[in-house]
Amino acid sequence: MTPEIAITLTILLPAGATILIALLDKWPNLRETVSLTSAAMLFMVVLGLLQDVLDGARPAVEWVSVLPGLPLAFEIEPLGMLFAVVASGLWIVTAVYSIGYMRGNNEEHQTRFYICFAIAISAAMGIAFAGNMFTLFIFYEVLTLSTYPLVAHKQTDAAKRGARTYLAILIGTSIGFQLIAIIWTYAVAGTLDFQLGGILRDRFDPTLLPFLLALYAFGIGKAALMPFHRWLPAAMVAPTPVSALLHAVAVVKAGVFTMLKVGVYIFGIDLLAETGASQWLMWLAAFSILAASIIAMTKDNLKARLAYSTISQLSYITLGMALATSLGVMGGAIHIAMHAMGKITLFMCAGAIYVATHKTEISDMDGLGRVMPFTYMAFLVGALSIIGLPPLGGAWSKWYIMLGAADTGQLLMIGVLMISSLLNVAYLLPVVARGFFSSPAGTSRSSVVAIKEAPFWCVVPLCVTAIGCFVLFFYAGDIYTLIEPVAFPEGARLP
């Protein structure tokens, strides 16, 4: 199989799976088999491409020319490869988990759920491999629309309200800001192809660059930069596998990935550094990091707390890009993978707790840790990774972003990152502490409780991703090697 066919396959495979899933509506076991098989096959195809990219190849394919000079085209580069590996790898985990969760909860409309899920993955692949901003935008919108039914899944009034906010903010920002930015870029630069070093140099009035960047930064609503973050907490009404998809696998990662892509391939890191166009974005990202962390501390609903944690963590990546330095980009890219692994663990734990006990508020979860030891241990690992403690993956991304901040002399940003880590401790660890060390009112601490975990298919995936957090710590070097050609185009290495 040539790489060109493989690219097309990554998008068509999940899309094609939806047809089978729809046909197998009446046979749930077969339907889930299709889901799992296509997830596994997709991952294999992506891994095959990864090898090519590591060897330095940049396979490209063009589908059809939508407007003159604006084709639907795909080209693989390292950042996209990283995103694709993360999304397709975690799809397998999420697919397994959904089976446990959806059946454990007897959810309705499961076929619709699996169909939309597969379309979302297909869109994520399209975003990852897009060869120009136009293609990326198209799949970005497909992703928004395909996740809407997932957010509205429960069809209650609350779900409808949440989904409406979700759609309004994501479509509003993408059409309201991003589309204008794209057309503006095209009008000025005459192309939308992603080129290392950017396409705007010498073509765009430098004094207007901050405005264009603002249109992009706010237009990429999926990156949940404040003040356009409301959709993430609103989407919390969705079933937990969807939250995992939104927070870890596809949606927010698509957002920050687009942010990195725009910074590296449309503006060019050097141009941003020379003109200082991204200075304001750096401050806004720093504000988002701290403000979202503080809001997270006030939330008693576990999923809402995790949602605000996500908003904060996403801004790390935006910050990495806005620092406009190679190390910052490196840190941001690594954080895509690290945060995905950590956050999916936390969300699957929250879901497992819900399936087993139907509890959503942290204050009700006293002593649960002794009832659900595996879930809580996994939660602890995920939390520590998000906090950034070695030997867990999250340590590396913070390390590089801090190095980037030091590199550009932004010592205040190092301070922001350190305070943020402390805040992470303050809002994540109490959940674990309550689980293990407190007792529900009216029972004594020493009373022995029987272990009662969530269904098997819920617990296995979250243990796998928890172990993944450890593994990533030791394999961060490989991600570094993958991203190196993008972050250090001149071949400059660490001092």
Minimum distance, C-beta of residue 160 to other proteins, in the bound complex (Å): 5
Radius of gyration, CA atoms only, the chain: 21
- Our CB check for other proteins shows the closer of 179 and 429 to be 179
d(CA 459, CA 452): 11
Whole-angstrom CA distances from 272 to 209, 275, 325 are 9, 5, 9
Q: Which CB atom, from 168 or from 471, has the smaller least distance to other proteins?
A: 168
What Cα–Cα distance (Å) separates residue 163 from each residue in 107, 139, 173, 228?
Answer: 18, 19, 15, 15
Q: Which stretch binds other proteins (CB under 8 A): 27-35, 116-124, 177-185, 271-279?
A: 177-185
Report the residue number, 148 or 379, with the smaller CB distance to other proteins. 148
Distances (CA, A) of 410 to 320, 419, 495: 12, 15, 18
Residue 138 within binding range of other proteins, rule CB under 8 A = yes
Nearest approach in angstroms of CB 403 to other proteins is: 38
Q: Quick one: which of 2, 29, 64, 477 contacts other proteins (CB under 8 A)? A: 64
Nearest 5 degrees, angle CA 61-CA 63-CA 69?
Answer: 95
In the complex, minimum distance from the CB of residue 58 to other proteins, in angstroms, rounded to a whole number: 25
CA-closest candidate to residue 116, choices 145, 158, 86, 74 = 145
Binding to other proteins in span 66-85, by CB under 8 A? 66-68, 72
Q: Which stretch binds other proteins (CB under 8 A): 6-14, 178-186, 278-286, 472-480?
A: 178-186
Nearer to other proteins, 126 or 468 (CB): 126
Residues 415/286, Cβ–Cβ less than 8 Å:
no
Closer of 136 and 472 to other proteins (Cβ): 136
Smallest separation, CB 303 to other proteins (Å): 21
Minimum distance between the CB of residue 66 and other proteins, rounded to whole angstroms? Answer: 6
Query: What are the φ/ψ torsions at residue 202 (nearest 5 degrees)?
Result: 65, 5
Q: How many CB atoms lie within 10 A of CB 276?
A: 13
Is residue 207 at the binding interface for other proteins, with CB under 8 A as the rule?
Answer: no
Interface residue with other proteins, options 16, 28, 48, 172 (CB under 8 A): 172
Q: State which of residues 54, 183, 196, 412 lies at the interface with other proteins (CB under 8 A).
A: 183
The one among 119, 167, 341, 371 contacting other proteins by CB under 8 A? 167
Say how many C-beta atoms besides its own lie within 10 A of residue 382's C-beta: 29
Tokens of 267: 């503006």
Distance (Å, whole) CA 412 – CA 342: 26
Neighbours of 366 (CB within 10 A): 16
- Of 184 and 457, which CB lies nearer to other proteins in the complex structure? 184
- DSSP notation for 83-140: HHHHHHHHHHHHHHHHHHHHHHTT-S-HHHHHHHHHHHHHHHHHHHHBSBHHHHHHHH
Residues 141-160 touching other proteins, rule: CB under 8 A, are 141-142, 145, 149, 152, 155, 160
Question: Is residue 176 involved in binding other proteins (CB under 8 A)?
Answer: yes
Phi, psi of 74 (to 5 degrees): -125, 140
Nearer to other proteins, 66 or 418 (CB): 66
Residue 429: HSE in the Cβ half-sphere, 13 Å Cα cutoff: 11
Give the total of residues touching other proteins (CB under 8 A): 28
Give the residues across from 341 on adjacent strands: none
Q: Does 8 bind other proteins (CB under 8 A)?
A: no
Least distance (Å) between residue 140 CB and other proteins = 9
Nearer to other proteins, 179 or 290 (CB): 179
Identify which range of 168-176, 324-332, 380-388, 453-461 contacts other proteins by CB under 8 A. Answer: 168-176
Q: What single-letter DSSP state applies at residue 323?
A: T
- Which residues in 25-54 contact other proteins (CB under 8 A)? none
231 binds other proteins (CB under 8 A): no
By CB under 8 A, residue 267 contacts other proteins: no
β 70-75/60-67 pair status: antiparallel
* φ, ψ for residue 366, nearest 5 deg: -60, 130
Part in contact with other proteins (CB under 8 A); list of ranges 3-11, 184-192, 320-328, 392-400 = 184-192
Answer for which of 20, 36, 179, 297 binds other proteins (CB under 8 A) is 179
Instruction: Identify the residue among 8, 33, 51, 65 touching other proteins (CB under 8 A).
Output: 65
Kindly indicate which of the ranges 180-188, 279-287, 311-319, 389-397 contains the residues binding other proteins, using the contact rule CB under 8 A: 180-188
Candidate list 58, 164, 201, 359; residue touching other proteins; CB under 8 A: 164
What's the CA gap between 466 and 474, in Å, rounded?
A: 14
Alpha-carbon dihedral 355, 40, 313, 237, rounded to 10 degrees: -40
> Cβ of residue 211: shortest distance to other proteins, in angstroms?
9
Which is nearest to 486 in space by CA: 130, 53, 136, 133?
Answer: 53
d(CA 283, CA 44): 40
Type of residue found at 165: T
Closest among 303, 260, 225, 247 to 120, alpha carbons compared: 247
* Residues in touch with other proteins (CB under 8 A): 64-68, 72, 137-138, 141-142, 145, 149, 152, 155, 160, 164, 167-168, 171-172, 175-176, 179-180, 183-184, 186-187
